Amino acid sequence: MIYYISFILIGIGLYGIVSQKNLLKQLVALTIIDTAVNIFIVSLGYLQGAEAPIYSVITPVANFVDPLPQALVLTAIVIGVGTLAMASMLLIHIHEKYGSVDVDEICSAKEVIE
């Protein structure tokens, strides 16, 4: 079932990337796809009736979901933060140069500069 949620989120993200002309909105759509893929990878390791993979007072012996996808998603989240910061800094730079983050307005601003 959760597979469908991540598929639908990927669809929403693709729609956002293709339909929007504002670069900031395209970045948000890209981040939605990032989250959807993370949800999908974590859901591949889910086991019905199992606990979070931590030995504790509540779960002294192992009855765990698959920890490997969670570890990989931890990596992916951090890299997502890095790319998001880099892309938003590029957008700030574009906005300072052309006065807009809309694709059409950037094109007309380029013609004015030339």
- Site size toward other proteins (CB under 8 A) is 55
12 contributes a contact to other proteins by CB under 8 A: yes
Length of the chain in residues, anyone? 114
Q: Please, which of residues 27-66 interact with other proteins by CB under 8 A?
A: 43-48, 50, 52-57, 59-62, 64, 66
Q: Which tokens is 23 given?
A: 């670069």
- CA 41 from chain centre, in angstroms, equals 13
**Torsion over CA of 56, 62, 68 and 71, rounded to 10 degrees?**
0
Which residue's structure tokens are 């779960």? 59
Spatial distance between the Cα atoms of 26 and 28, rounded to a whole number of angstroms: 5
112 contributes a contact to other proteins by CB under 8 A: no
Quick one: which of 24, 85, 98, 112 contacts other proteins (CB under 8 A)?
A: 85
Contacts to other proteins by CB under 8 A: 1-4, 7-8, 10-12, 14-19, 21, 43-48, 50, 52-57, 59-62, 64, 66-68, 70-71, 74-75, 77-79, 81-83, 85-86, 88-90, 92-93, 96
